[in-house]
Amino acid sequence: MGDVDDIDIYVAQPIYEWQQTEQGKWVMEHANNLTYHTAADPHAFGYRITICGEMDQGPKLTEYLLKYKK
C-alpha cells in the first residue's frame, strides 16, 4: 500500500476485497481474534498490511496449510 495520510481508511477496501476471496472467506469462518497490523515498507515507500489470527492446531490448520500455503 502506498504512502497515505490515514492508513486505516485506505486499508479498508483491500481487506474487504481479500475477505471476498476463497481464502479470505475460509479464514473468516475458521480463525479467531483476527486483527491487522501496519508496518512501514521501505522497499515500496509505503506500508505493508498483515492480517493475523489464531487457529487451533489440528485438522483445520492442516487444511489451511494444504490449500493455501505457497
Residue 56: the pLDDT is 83
Cβ-based neighbours of 14, under 8 Å, separated by 6 or more: 1, 49
Helix extents (H) in the chain? 7-19, 22-30, 59-68
**Helix, strand or coil, per DSSP, at residue 20:** coil
Q: pLDDT tens-digit profile of 10-56?
A: 889 999 999 999 999 999 999 999 999 999 888 988 889 999 999 88
Residue 46: the pLDDT is 83
Residue 64: the pLDDT is 92
Residue 69: the pLDDT is 85
What is the residue extent of each domain of the chain? Answer: 7-68
